[in-house]
Amino acid sequence: MSTRRCPRCQTTYQAPARYCVKDGSPLVDVEPTASFGPPKLPGAPAGPEGDPGAQRGAEAEDLSLTPEELDRYSTLSGKLLDRRYQVGRRLGEGGMSYVYRAQDTESHRPVAVKILLPRLSRDPAAVERLRREAGIAMRFDHPNVCPILRLGEADRILYLVMPYLEGEPLSEHETKRGPISVAEGIPLLLQMCRGLAQAHELGIVHRDLKPENVMLVPDGTTDDGEPLYRAVVMDFGLAKERRAGPEVAKLTATGIVLGTPEFMSPEQIRGKPLDGRSDVYALGVLAFEMFTGQLPFPGKSAQETMIARLRGSPAKLRDLRPELPAKLDAVIQRCLIIDPAERFQNMDELDHAFDSVVATGVFGRLFRR
């Protein structure tokens, strides 16, 4: 029986457990292989006590598959999907989908195929969200954003096709190596800023930015032989167009909390209208964790961390790692201001701020501008 681990709190479980009972995160295998990466658990409405983590756990239980469904959707390996995609090994699963590696028999390229779980495929709202995800991601054309190549349906199976990315999620990279150096981290943050900037230019807010949704793809080495990575922002399944019409508003009505509690902006926790500054906040949380291995707002539960973000002040980066540049600490602190009007107002501003932290000297060799 395989062992699985929560990427957020590191608690381990035995299969067939799929979600962490502490924070609702989808579990990953203890010895993951380099792959497209496990899909995220989609956002859920806040429960009666206002704890999205508890609601996500309830959702996972309600959406458990029957033995027949489990056999069909978890054993697609070796089959030809839609007379085009030769399905290979399963890469992961989440609250919304299974993800497989496959071969496109027309282009002869490897792809990742995300298959919507059957209970959700019968839910019009879930199907609409999937179609929105495809419509959004098909508009991307940026090396730091993962596009969707196709939305298809075959034999009552809804699926998405994406490029297959060799690499690993940022969350797994952090787990293996611990806190990341400034030399490695700043280039990755710059790339995330630039990918998200394109999304914001299209009027799209990611809403669920976190290490699990960032893939690190090997991208050569430095002059000293150190590996370089390309950061690719993935999984816009919770993304929302700022100019969304009423059909989208029904899916994400004001007061319904979507996203991952530890990375939500204060306005997202409150269910307020969001813009790109919410992603600025989430990227600040991600950066803090990337450099320290900890979250800027500690708490024993997702609800406690949410309350801390509404009432308290974030921890200081240099209190945990005094050797880090003071300017980097200041940039992250500004990302984490409660009032969006006082943060960086867009990804271009944040890009320039990160770029100015260590643009020369020993760090400069690792930069990909």
Whether 189 has a pLDDT exceeding 90, the answer reads yes
Exposed, middle or buried, 281 (CB in 10 Å: 0-12/13-18/19+)?
Answer: buried
What are the tens digits of pLDDT across the range 346-357? 999 999 999 999
User: What pLDDT is stored for residue 17 in this prediction?
Assistant: 61
Whether 44 has a pLDDT exceeding 60, the answer reads no
How much of the chain, in percent, has pLDDT values that exceed 70?
A: 69
Planar angle of CA 94, 97, 103, nearest 5 degrees: 120
What tokens does 140 get?
Answer: 């991307």
Exposed, middle or buried, 47 (CB in 10 Å: 0-12/13-18/19+)?
Answer: middle
Query: pTM (2 decimals)?
Result: 0.73
pLDDT category at 305 given cuts 50, 70, 90 is confident
User: What pLDDT is stored for residue 364 in this prediction?
Assistant: 45
Exposed, middle or buried, 348 (CB in 10 Å: 0-12/13-18/19+)?
Answer: middle
In eight-state DSSP terms, residue 211 is G
Tell me, letter by letter, the H, E, C secondary structure of 4-67. Answer: EECCCCCCEEECCCCECCCCCCECEECCCCCCCCCCCCCCCCCCCCCCHHHHHHHHHHHCCCCH
In the predicted model, what is the mean pLDDT of residues 234-249?
Answer: 52
Q: Which of 154, 187, 153 is nearest to 170 (CA)?
A: 187
The residue from 23, 51, 104, 208 that is catalytic is 208
Please say whether the beta carbons of 256 and 46 come within 8 A. yes
Q: Which of 134, 157, 137 is nearest to 87 (CA)?
A: 157
170-177 and 276-292 helices, crossing angle to 10° = 20
Please say whether the beta carbons of 318 and 312 come within 8 A. no
**C-alpha–C-alpha distance, residues 144 and 161, integer Å:** 17
Per the prediction, the chain carries an average pLDDT of: 77
Whether 80 has a pLDDT exceeding 90, the answer reads yes
Q: Which domains does the chain have, with CATH numbers?
A: 168-366 (1.10.510.10)
In the predicted model, what is the mean pLDDT of residues 219-233?
Answer: 90
Largest CA distance in the chain: 59
Q: Note if 208 is an active site residue.
A: yes
pLDDT category at 94 given cuts 50, 70, 90 is low
Which has the minimum average pLDDT: 167-176, 317-326, 360-369?
360-369
Q: Which of 337, 263, 290 is nearest to 189 (CA)?
A: 290
Whether 34 has a pLDDT exceeding 60, the answer reads no
Q: Using CA atoms in the order 30, 33, 36, 41, what is the torsion angle rounded to 10 degrees?
A: -10
